[in-house]
């Protein structure tokens, strides 16, 4: 076998091995999207009930809560960026980071300092490589977040918001979150939302018929609100984590699908090249044999 042909065959083998890996990753991601979507669905009833409760308290009490109070003179904002732990997901992490960069620019234009909080190893690496300051980061659960993870994040962010930004270096007046919303299997959109100060929005779904009833609060409206609002934020963070996880799997599935398709293309064209090389080799061998025979024939004819 000629050298040319051997090289082609080696490349085909290596592309085939890569294709097997990308195909496997595609299938794994495809099955995980379904699971991630189910978890988003499983968390919806809780989020809806919580929203109902928060709007009920907000409607029937005029208690001012630090989490809903807008600062008159905001000084610093926190940005929570949710990305993936692993790559191989196309532009998933980089589009979230790009969205965050845009947000940071608008915040800075408003004269705010920005504290960054990161989720996912990809964002951490990006920030470390560029020597940008990170306030805090959480890694290792981007593809399978649990409520406990959301709680840890919220437990760090809520005190930062409650602290006074003017005196405390960790204190912030606003909290923004950048995550990737899972619109459908083919559309995931990186977006930013302001989480704090809270604007209570009614979740989608059937609106409660008529007016909300006059609730009695136990122990009292302020206490209930105190306990409800942090849960509300946790549940919003949890929802953002789950949506991002589903988007990550969808992005990875798509990236791996196109990698598999590309490998197929590559194998096809390499096979053609290898065939041509083999054919050229055979042709060359034949012409060498024919040429050799001719030479021998004419040599012996001349000696006679």
Partner 1 sequence: MSDKTLTVEFVTPERRVFSGKAISLSARTLEGDLGILVDHAPLLGVLVDGKVSIEGVDGSVQEFEVSGGFISVANNRISVLGESATQ
Positions in the binding site for partner 1 (CB under 8 A): 39, 42-43, 45-47, 49-50, 52-53, 56-57, 146-147, 150-151, 212-219, 223-224, 227-228, 231, 234-235, 238
Measured from the CB atom, the residue of 36 and 251 that comes closer to partner 1 is: 36
Least distance from partner 1 to the Cβ atom of residue 210, Å: 10
Integer Cα distance of 207 and 184 in angstroms: 24
Least distance from partner 1 to the Cβ atom of residue 240, Å: 13
Residue 221 in tokens: 């409206």
190 contacts 99 by C-beta, under 8 angstroms? yes
Least distance from partner 1 to the Cβ atom of residue 247, Å: 19
Count of CB atoms within 10 A of residue 84's CB?
26
Least distance from partner 1 to the Cβ atom of residue 158, Å: 15
Integer Cα distance of 186 and 88 in angstroms: 16
Q: Which residues make Cβ contacts (< 8 Å) with residue 9, sequence separation at least 6? A: 274
Q: Integer distance in angstroms from the first to the last C-alpha of the chain?
A: 38
Measured from the CB atom, the residue of 134 and 222 that comes closer to partner 1 is: 222
Measured from the CB atom, the residue of 52 and 65 that comes closer to partner 1 is: 52
DSSP structural state of residue 66: T
Measured from the CB atom, the residue of 1 and 214 that comes closer to partner 1 is: 214
CA distances from 156 to 134, 139, 160, 171, 234 (A): 14, 15, 7, 11, 11
Integer Cα distance of 88 and 80 in angstroms: 22
Least distance from partner 1 to the Cβ atom of residue 143, Å: 16
Least distance from partner 1 to the Cβ atom of residue 239, Å: 9
Measured from the CB atom, the residue of 127 and 147 that comes closer to partner 1 is: 147
Would you tell me the crossing angle of helices 221-303 and 147-162 to the nearest 10 degrees? 120
Least distance from partner 1 to the Cβ atom of residue 20, Å: 35
Measured from the CB atom, the residue of 1 and 211 that comes closer to partner 1 is: 211
Residue 216 in tokens: 């009695």
Measured from the CB atom, the residue of 111 and 219 that comes closer to partner 1 is: 219
């Amino acid at each position: 076998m000629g050298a040319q042909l051997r090289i082609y065959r080696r490349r085909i083998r290596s592309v085939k091995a890569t294709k097997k890996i990308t195909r496997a990753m595609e299938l794994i991601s495809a099955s995980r999207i379904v699971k991630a979507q189910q978890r988003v669905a499983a968390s919806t009833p809780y989020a809806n009930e919580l929203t109902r409760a928060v709007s009920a308290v907000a409607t029937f009490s005029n208690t001012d809560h630090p989490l809903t109070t807008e600062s008159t003179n905001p000084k610093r904002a926190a940005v929570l960026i949710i990305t993936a732990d692993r790559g191989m997901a196309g532009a998933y992490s980089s589009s979230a980071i790009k969205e965050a960069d845009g947000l940071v620019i608008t915040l800075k234009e408003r004269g705010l300092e920005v504290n960054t909080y990161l989720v996912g190893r990809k964002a951490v690496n990006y920030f470390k490589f560029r020597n940008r300051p990170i306030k805090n980061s959480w890694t290792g659960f981007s593809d399978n977040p649990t409520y406990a993870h959301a709680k840890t994040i919220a437990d760090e962010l809520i005190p930062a918001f409650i602290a006074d930004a003017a005196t405390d270096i960790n204190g912030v007046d606003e909290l923004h979150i950048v995550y990737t919303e899972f619109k459908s299997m083919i559309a995931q959109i990186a977006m930013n939302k302001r989480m704090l100060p809270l604007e209570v929005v009614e979740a989608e779904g059937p609106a409660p018929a008529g007016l909300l009833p006059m609730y009695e609060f136990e122990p009292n409206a302020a206490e209930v609100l105190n306990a409800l609002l942090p849960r509300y934020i946790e549940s919003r963070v949890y929802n953002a984590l789950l949506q991002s996880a589903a988007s990550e799997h969808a992005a990875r599935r798509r990236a791996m699908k196109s990698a598999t398709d590309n490998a197929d293309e590559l194998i096809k064209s390499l096979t053609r090249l290898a065939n041509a090389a083999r054919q050229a080799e055979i042709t060359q061998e034949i012409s060498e044999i024919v040429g050799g025979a001719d030479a021998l024939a004419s040599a012996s004819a001349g000696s006679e």
